[in-house]
């Protein structure tokens, strides 16, 4: 007896998704509520659980297909994995298969599309299921995915895992990446070309994820709709760094969380938004909506791309609450467990490009918000203090804003208020 697996409700106004990845193969045993597939919506990846315990049966849609809410995507058969494996093998022609390479040929990581097969000695562990972005990195660095410990949900590999492995073994990975000759995969690859002095050159076409398509569309809409402008200022981070150094141990001991930079910036943004409310406002039709609260969207790097979960009522939070919320978002982003509710309703965005080494940038507004603050790396630079040239840890701040709503004077004032609060953090405590 088979039980149908349907696409669950994905959130308000979302009627379809893309099947990003099958997490179980036909013939494999599944438990009740165990994830068997991953769906990509406009904002997040949603896992589809098995409604019953049994054996993964027929998969009715392929990875990359668009599916509607309520559509049947697979069937779960009754029984155990061992008993149902022969039946699944007999039905294998219904699903695409990958032929095994000869015993004398090393297994090519790209040969099985997104499912990278292990070598004979690792066969007992079964195949690794990798996302397209992780698979590309594995191929690029010439790494063996079976030797990398995954930090994602259920031990899956993330991009950070692969990058860390590549960093720890640079000498070994570079030659392997050059010598690797990927076989045709589920994505289309251009044939080798000899025009470049006899060196084989390949191209790979990978379908854009639904998340990446949505990001591309929304950012272009922002450029087409808003009258965007960016203004800059720099901040001497000496006082913030001294405060962190002085209190970090006590803070972590009391709150069980590290004291980071983001807490200072969120509190400073709340203080500045109170004095310049237009930065936290938005345009709706021919009206301007002003708010007495601040919901900060914080850009977080995830395996499938950049996501922006929202810190609700950030204006009323303390440093510990802000840091705990951000840490939780980062953990859940890597696990792919952020929900639609986590990423809707922000009124102002803070993006920290400094963690990747960015010195200066012009961030793009996230509609319907009217402004976004860009943080950058801290770098010692010569500045004049009391008539003397001294070295100070400086950071550039960038505020991109919708000039239809926010005037230049207001944008500059907002950054000046932030600069004052960060260079004298006592202002954050006594509300100046």
Looking at the DSSP assignment, which residues form a beta bridge with residue 189?
Answer: 204
β-pairing, 296-298 with 348-352? parallel
Please, which residues bridge with residue 66 across strands? 18
Cβ neighbours, 10 Å, residue 263: 26
Question: Which residues are known catalytic residues?
Answer: 403, 407
For residues 230 and 406, give the distance between their C-alpha atoms in angstroms, rounded to a whole number: 11
Report cis status (omega within 30 of 0) of the bond before 410.
no
Asked whether 137 and 159 are in contact (CB, 8 A), the reply is yes
Q: How far is CA 307 from CA 131, 210, 211, 255, in A?
A: 17, 13, 9, 26
Q: Cα separation of 394 and 382, whole Å?
A: 9
CB within 8 Å of 409: residues ≥ 6 apart: none
Residues facing 352 on adjacent strands: 375
């Amino acid at each position: 007896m088979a039980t149908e697996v349907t696409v669950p409700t994905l959130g308000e106004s979302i009627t379809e998704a893309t099947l990003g990845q099958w997490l179980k193969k036909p013939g494999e045993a599944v438990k009740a509520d165990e994830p068997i597939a991953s769906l990509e919506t406009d904002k997040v990846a949603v896992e589809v659980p098995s409604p019953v315990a049994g054996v993964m049966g027929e998969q009715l849609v392929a990875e990359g297909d668009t599916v509607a809410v309520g559509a049947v995507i697979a069937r779960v058969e009754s029984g155990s994995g061992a008993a149902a494996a022969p039946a699944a093998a007999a039905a294998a022609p219904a699903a695409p298969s990958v032929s095994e390479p000869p015993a004398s040929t090393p297994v090519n990581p790209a040969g099985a599309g997104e499912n990278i097969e292990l070598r004979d000695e690792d066969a007992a562990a079964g195949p690794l299921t990798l996302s397209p972005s992780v698979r590309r990195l594995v191929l690029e660095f010439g790494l063996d995915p079976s030797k990398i410990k995954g930090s994602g949900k259920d031990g899956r590999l993330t991009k950070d895992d692969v990058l860390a492995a590549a960093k720890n073994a640079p000498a070994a990975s570079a030659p392997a990446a050059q010598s690797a000759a990927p076989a045709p995969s589920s994505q289309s690859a251009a044939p080798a070309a000899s025009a470049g002095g006899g060196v084989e050159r390949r191209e790979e076409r990978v379908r854009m994820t639904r998340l990446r398509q949505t990001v591309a569309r929304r950012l272009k809409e922002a450029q087409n709709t808003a009258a965007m402008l960016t203004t800059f200022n720099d901040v001497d981070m000496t006082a913030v760094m001294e405060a962190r150094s002085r209190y970090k141990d006590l803070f972590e001991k009391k709150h069980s969380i590290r004291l980071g930079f983001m807490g200072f910036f969120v509190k400073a943004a709340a203080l500045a938004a109170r004095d310049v409310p237009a930065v936290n406002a938005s345009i709706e039709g021919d009206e301007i909506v002003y708010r007495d609260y601040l919901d900060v969207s914080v850009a977080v790097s995830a395996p499938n791309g950049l996501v922006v979960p929202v810190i609700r009522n950030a204006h009323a939070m303390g440093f510990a609450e802000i840091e705990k919320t951000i840490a939780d978002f980062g953990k859940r982003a890597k696990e792919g467990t952020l929900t639609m509710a986590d990423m809707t309703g922000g009124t102002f965005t803070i993006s920290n490009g400094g963690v990747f080494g960015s010195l200066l940038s012009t961030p793009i507004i996230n509609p319907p918000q009217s402004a976004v603050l860009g943080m950058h790396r801290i770098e010692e630079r010569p500045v004049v203090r009391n008539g003397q040239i001294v070295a100070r840890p400086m950071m550039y701040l960038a505020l991109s804003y919708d000039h239809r709503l926010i005037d230049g004077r207001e944008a500059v004032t907002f950054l000046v208020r932030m600069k004052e609060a960060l260079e004298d953090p006592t202002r954050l405590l006594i509300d100046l």
